[in-house]
A and B are shown apart, each in its own frame.
Chain A
Amino acid sequence: MRKSLVLGVAAIALVSVLATACGRSKQSAASSDGAGANAGDKQEIRFGALVPSTGPNAEWGKKNTIALKILEENVNKAGGINGRPVKIIVYDTNQKPDQAANLVRKLAQDDKVLAIAGPLTSGECEVAFPVANQMEISIMSQASSKPGVSKANRPWAFRNTMTEDKLATVTMPIWVKHFNPKKVAVIYDAKDATSSTLGKSVLPSAAKHAGLQVVNENDPITFQSGDTDVSPQVTKLKNLQVDGLLLGADFGPASNILREMNRQGVKIPVIGGTPLISSTILQAHGEIPIVAPATFYPQNPAEGTQKFVKEFLARATDIPEATREPNMYDATIVDNIGIFIEAFKQSGASGQPGDLKSDRVKIRDYVAKLKDYKGIAGSISMDPDGDGIKQAYLLLAQQGKWVEIKR
């Protein structure tokens, strides 16, 4: 009886691991209003979007969906595209690569969209981009910034983001000038694609290039996303006695590191990548000066940014106030669809069901040569690898806001 219970416990442990690893996968269609092909209405021009509306970063997806809804309404209020309404079909990936890949297929085949914005993370892109290539449909991520992901999936994959290596070469010297560190250490999330690229190569090489000594480059401190307790890592960091930290992590895990650093009294300046930009960091960083690069920030006085932020705040009343401000990914996904709409108009695509294949090619060719598109935060161009060329800012967390550090 007891023995079977021991077995039972083991089985349960296993099942719960599996359940947490691959459960919670809801194929929920978070369409802006009713998903699926609507054969009766031939006039509407469809685009797809993949966002994580459930799972560990559900807020990203929920806010992305709001941003897209605003865009859809604005475009249609202004008469749509040549008088035809635009429809953006939004699906939830649960931030799971396999789900993102399946949804690319669904959007391309069943919903017959012209192009797809998303998915958000590099982990999802690495799996979803090859499917888009195979289906011959343009796809453009709103956040993925791991170097090389679009390059590996030519010609249909794009990312409207600056990759972390490009950003780090711009921002590292500003950080060094501002905080004057000499010896730095690196900590990164070994489970996350972008974070580990940041920690293994991007940040250390940019730091060395800027004349810093990276003391633990060959023996980096790592943790795993999902770890709530990072006290041993911070104790290790404290023991290295450095005067700066290179942090490769998403904002959530990074917040755990920052709180633990405050607790253990390790108050040294920190630099990381774009995944740090979040209001969560603003609440968590305490007395630690932390900077990260961004291509959008809500306090930017630029007209396009302020208009977008105002519209977003008015609409996003469901989102708790502390995290209500639109983030970089919200601005970017709106620009992604905006770029597709521009491509549709400029390339002479017809939007007729029979022309779907040639329309998709036309859109791709236009996007691949995109030059100076007027986005929310500034002009956007595409480089030959399918990655964006955009204005980058170095932001410092200060008194509950991200503020720009001028070079």
Chain B
Amino acid sequence: MGGKGAAVLAQQLVNGLMLGSAYALIGIAFALILGILDMLNVAIGEVFMLGAFLALAAIRFGLPWPVAVLTAMVGGAAVNLIIERLAFRPLRNAPPITPLLSTIAFSLVLQNVATNIWTSEQTQFPVDTGKLSFDLGPVRLTSTHLLIFGTALVVMVVLDFIIHRTKIGRGMRAVAESPEAAGILGVEPGRIITATFSLAGAIAGVAGVLLGLAFSFVSPMMGVQTGLKGLAAMVVGGLGNVRGAIVGGLVLGVTEVLSVAYLRSEYRDMVVYGLLFVVLVIRPQGLLGSVIPGRGRV
């Protein structure tokens, strides 16, 4: 039993890390907007879903894979910018709860738009990268696993570079620290908002393509559960903390998979959101995050 049990556990951990990487990417998209701009865009889950569909459309149009991923990124960024224009900008002086509600409405609109364009049925992703697989002892790694881990890693490194090494990144950090002071020092808040929303949208778009790949299908409802889990990942890791979202996503993914593996699927969401609850009670700032405004958030 020992050897076999360990092998199953190892496979389950791989399953969990794959799922967790996807949660982490969506968590990052949430964290960017929240950490830099102090705004919560609940419709990120739908940006993620649209990213997957746009990539699918590109592939059906006969475009090669990398172009499809690029389409998802550009499309995700564009959709997120539209959300900013319509759901945040007109409500800038409203109480913080108002834009939150308007993004919930936006996510319902996007779901129904997608249902009307692509139907409510699952649409199969034409490329199944799962066919390429490697058996490492008892653990089966597919090219999808590697692609997801790899992309998540690349996105994190590039994001870190943008935030810490570029001019626009400096602006983002300045706005995160203090929007007023940043404004006085000549940082244009409008540009920073546009940049942040585009970046978050592009990441959500990539996450959509990756999850579409991982599960070989896309559907208009795929953003609902996954978006909520991504949000939970960010909260567990630390509100608005990009690195925290990565840790939170992986913790959540592994917890979720293990709860199904060793309990029953009925406990899945109870365990995941229970974890969220426990973290909020014991460590309200999240695993890595600081709740002090402007410190260690980005």
Which A residues contact B (CB, under 8 angstroms)? 1-6, 8-13, 15-17, 19-20, 23-24, 54-59, 190, 221-224, 226-229, 231-233, 235-236, 238-239, 252, 255-256, 259-260, 262-265, 280, 283-284, 286, 319-320, 323
A267 to chain B, nearest CB (A): 13
Report how far A153 CA is from B15 CA in the complex, Å: 45
User: Which residues of B sit under 8 angstroms from A263, Cβ to Cβ?
Assistant: 130, 133, 142, 144, 216
Instruction: Please name the 8 residue pairs, one residue from A and one from B, whose CB atoms are nearest each other, closest first.
Output: A58-B120, A231-B15, A263-B130, A232-B260, A232-B261, A222-B265, A283-B124, A2-B291
B218 to chain A, nearest CB (A): 10
Besides A231-B18, A232-B260, 10 other CB < 8 A contacts? A6-B284, A8-B40, A9-B235, A57-B120, A226-B225, A232-B257, A259-B215, A263-B130, A280-B124, A284-B124
Report how far A116 CA is from B36 CA in the complex, Å: 55
Q: Would B130 and A222 count as touching, CB distance under 8 A?
A: no
Q: Would B217 and A256 count as touching, CB distance under 8 A?
A: yes
B142 to chain A, nearest CB (A): 6
User: Which residues of A sit under 8 angstroms from B215, Cβ to Cβ?
Assistant: 228-229, 256, 259-260
Looking at B112, B120, B144, B284, the one whose CB has the most chain A CB atoms below 10 A away is: B120
Q: Would B239 and A2 count as touching, CB distance under 8 A?
A: yes
Report how far A283 CA is from B214 CA in the complex, Å: 16
Report if A222-B266 is in contact (Cβ < 8 Å); known contacts: A12-B42, A55-B120, A265-B140: yes
* Contact with A235, one of B38, B142, B235, B261 (Cβ below 8 angstroms): B261
User: Which residues of A sit under 8 angstroms from B256, Cβ to Cβ?
Assistant: 229
Q: Would B231 and A224 count as touching, CB distance under 8 A?
A: no
User: Which residues of B sit under 8 angstroms from A255, Cβ to Cβ?
Assistant: 122, 217
Q: Is the interface of B mostly helix, strand, loop or mixed?
A: helix
Asked whether any CB of chain A lies closer than 8 Å to the CB of B11, the reply is yes
B119 to chain A, nearest CB (A): 5
Q: Would B111 and A24 count as touching, CB distance under 8 A?
A: yes
Report how far A24 CA is from B19 CA in the complex, Å: 27
Q: Would B217 and A323 count as touching, CB distance under 8 A?
A: no
User: Which residues of A sit under 8 angstroms from B19, Cβ to Cβ?
Assistant: 229, 231
Q: Would A8 and B120 count as touching, CB distance under 8 A?
A: no
Report how far A386 CA is from B100 CA in the complex, Å: 49
Asked whether any CB of chain A lies closer than 8 Å to the CB of B264, the reply is yes
Query: Which residue on B lies nearest to A260, using beta carbons?
Result: B215
Which B residues contact A (CB, under 8 angstroms)? 4, 8, 11-12, 15-16, 18-19, 38, 40, 42, 96-97, 100-101, 104, 107-108, 111-112, 115, 119-122, 124, 128, 130, 133, 140, 142, 144, 211, 214-217, 219, 221-222, 224-226, 228, 231-232, 235, 239, 256-258, 260-261, 264-266, 268-269, 273, 276, 280, 284, 291-293
Query: Which residue on B lies nearest to A264, using beta carbons?
Result: B140
User: Which residues of A sit under 8 angstroms from B221, Cβ to Cβ?
Assistant: 56, 226
Report how far A283 CA is from B219 CA in the complex, Å: 14
Q: Would A15 and B104 count as touching, CB distance under 8 A?
A: yes
Report how far A227 CA is from B185 CA in the complex, Å: 48
Report if A13-B108 is in contact (Cβ < 8 Å); known contacts: A8-B40, A239-B8: no
Report how far A226 CA is from B140 CA in the complex, Å: 25
Report how far A310 CA is from B120 CA in the complex, Å: 24
B194 to chain A, nearest CB (A): 23
A261 to chain B, nearest CB (A): 11
Q: Would B226 and A228 count as touching, CB distance under 8 A?
A: yes
Q: Would A24 and B112 count as touching, CB distance under 8 A?
A: yes
* Contact with A59, one of B107, B119, B130, B258 (Cβ below 8 angstroms): B119
* Contact with B211, one of A228, A232, A238 (Cβ below 8 angstroms): A228
User: Which residues of A sit under 8 angstroms from B15, Cβ to Cβ?
Assistant: 229, 231-232, 235
Report how far A284 CA is from B121 CA in the complex, Å: 12
Report how far A284 CA is from B128 CA in the complex, Å: 11
Looking at B40, B104, B122, the one whose CB has the most chain A CB atoms below 10 A away is: B122
Q: Would B40 and A12 count as touching, CB distance under 8 A?
A: yes
Query: Which residue on A lies nearest to B144, using beta carbons?
Result: A263
A353 to chain B, nearest CB (A): 38
Report how far A42 CA is from B297 CA in the complex, Å: 70
User: Which residues of B sit under 8 angstroms from A55, Cβ to Cβ?
Assistant: 120
